Amino acid sequence: MPVENWLVGSFFSKLLGEWNPPQFLGNLWLLSWSVGLSLAVLVISGWYRSLTRFSGSRSLYGLLPRSLLAVLLLVLVSSLSGPGEHPPRSFWPLFWLLVSTSLIASRIVMRDLLRFSLAVRSTATFKQGPGGNQRQPTLVYGSGKAAAQLLAELRYQSTYKLVGVLDDDPVLWGRRLEGLTIHSPDQLSQLIELHGIQQILLAMPSAPRHRRRELVDQLTALGLSVLSIPSLARIAAGQEVVTELRPVAIEDLLGRETCKPDTDLLRATVAGRVVMITGAGGSIGSELCRQIYRQDPRSLVLLERSELALYKLENELRSLRQLDTSPPLCFVSVLGDVCDSRRLATLCHDHGVQVMFHAAAYKHVSLVEANPCAGVVNNVRGTSAALEVAFSCGLERFVLISTDKAVRPTNVMGASKRVCELLVQAAAARTVAAGNGPICSMVRFGNVLGSSGSVVPHFRRAIAVGGPLTVTHPQVTRYFMTIPEAVELVLQSSGMARGGEVFVLDMGEPVRILDLARQMIRLSGCTIRDEAHPDGDIAIHFTGLRPGEKLYEELLTQENDQPTDHPLIRKAQEEFFAPEQLEPLLEKLRHVLEEWDDQRLIPALRVLVRDYQPLSGPSVGVVPTPPILPAST
């Protein structure tokens, strides 16, 4: 501050035509007051508590009111000093502007010098590290706000040698961002050859998912490693900052564009209610617990057969409860089997359960295909028991978590889940006929990323050990969705249910598993080993379709599905059996299961599921089926 004030005084002296005019010398005593008052204002206001190397426009603008206050105090001191020659009134505004400018300029210079000094020391340390690593020549893809912020933060980091910026907009080509030239993506090959580019920082958090997938494909095919900034949602929520770069995960590229949830629909079914989740420790069940927890239910009843899964879930919910400032949520962890209807009824009665999400099921196609009776007993008997309890205990709602494999099933698992859907549809018809009972609905969706049966963790483990990656068939495709998004849509669909609906989630475009395998290999920094590239790192082997596996999954059996109030949730028009027709068919299925007869199970399932066309198992002829009711509305 003394230097700035002296410079300002000298400036005005020179402006008056001489270095030391009488007017300046007569007010020289104000210099010490200026220094003292300014230091007092800056110290008391906390200006010096901020870190110089992180000074930005907001902190620098904060100097203006502080310097104004110091000048006003100096004017007061000058006015109270008694008779004598005082500076002209026009002096004070100019004095404030020049003092503020000099303070801001000095702060910027000190900030940049400090950053430069830290960068030099960091670079020296980085070069002396293991292997004497050098800074990697790097390009940034994108020139928006996120890219500008990223460049400003990385400018003085030792890890990256920033070479330039790429952007798709021709208007920006040739212009500069944070001192770096913006290039056309067509120049990427030239930049790689000229600068030895090794990696790309993807700074396009708002770009559509399909565009990011295209870019990652193109960049990894050139042998570049790709790092990405967090999503806008995580940055806006304060969960991550723009400089938290990480390798692009395959989960960021799969699925379709997300949609902002409807808060009213999310809360409609669960807020203020006692909610039971069967299969609470599974992939979908545990995420249901997490998301329902955030919607302020009265309490949660967690039913799970696996002790380890329930233990992990309970610990996670306890940690969430400790972080939550709202009144603590009551939840009950129960080790039990959903097939035990007596135990289930006792739990619902004792805890006053109002809503049940039935997520407990066997879902691994190949295992259920090898153990058909076990799979059908667990899935069908569990759903039947849960529905029975929902009626006997007077629940408000019952929601079945179904699967796309129930559509024109070719395996026992899919057929068993279609039988579960028929049970729910018949229960809904029973509610309509009686005029009371739980609102029963079901939600059907495809593969979710990160579940125990997902191909993604399987590929990730194979890549970690050097491969090979096994794919059943070159043309096999699957739909993909993240677990949180799927559960979010499940909750919203339950809020729209009026009884008997088969809700179908929009899964986006199907993904070819072979393309997924190739992309994951490239994202890991490895190369594909095939006939054209025998020196590659990881090979892909084809094993053939497994028993009961289809090339393509389907979500609808009818083309006349209907839209709902949510753009990503549709309602399938499914035919079903009346309760009086379904019961004798189920009784025959129960007899087969009691005898544990795998051979007779397939014909029994085909009676119930008309579209079931098994790809394996015993050969069966055409099985007569009773008449079915039109699709429910």
**Residues with catalytic annotation?**
405
Where do the DSSP E strands lie in 229-316? 246-247, 274-278, 299-304
Per DSSP bridges, beta strands 477-478 and 511-512 are antiparallel
Helix (H) or strand (E) holding 25: helix 22-26
The secondary structure of residue 271, as a DSSP letter, is T
Regarding beta strands 299-304 and 330-335, do their DSSP bridges make them parallel or antiparallel, or are they unpaired?
parallel
* 3-state secondary structure labels for all residues of 277-301: EECCCCHHHHHHHHHHHCCCCCEEE
Here the tokens at position 398 are 């019952």
CA distance 112 to 119: 10
CA-CA distances (angstroms) from residue 84 to 8, 79, 89, 227? Answer: 21, 10, 15, 68
3-state helix, strand, coil split of the chain in percent (to 5) is 50, 15, 35
Mind spelling out the 3-state secondary structure of 509-528? CCEEHHHHHHHHHHHCCCCE
As a whole number of angstroms, the distance between CA 194 and CA 207 comes to 28
Distance CA 363, CA 452 (A): 10
> Cα–Cα distance between 160 and 137 in angstroms, integer?
6
505 bridge partner residues: 569
DSSP secondary structure string for all residues of 441-455: EEEE--EEETSTT-H
Q: Give me the sheet containing 225-228, strands edge to edge.
A: 176-177, 180-183, 160-166, 136-141, 199-202, 225-228, 246-247
Among 417, 389, 419, 416, which Cα is nearest to 401's? Answer: 417
Element (H, E) at 344: helix 341-351
What distance, in Å, lies between the first and last C-alpha atoms of the chain?
Answer: 78
- Single-letter code of the amino acid located at 9: G
- Close Cβ partners of 155 (under 8 Å, ≥ 6 residues apart): 115, 162, 178
Give the contacts of 611 (CB within 8 A, at least 6 positions apart).
407, 408, 409, 418, 557
C-beta separation of 536 from 530 below 8 A: yes
Please, which residues have CB within 8 angstroms of residue 419's CB and are 6 or more apart in sequence?
376, 379, 380, 589, 605, 608, 609
Residue among 120, 593, 49 at smallest CA distance from 339: 593
Residue 549's DSSP bridge partners are none
The answer to whether residues 577 and 515 touch, using CB atoms and an 8 Å cutoff, is no
Q: Which two tokens stand for residue 240?
A: 């991550």
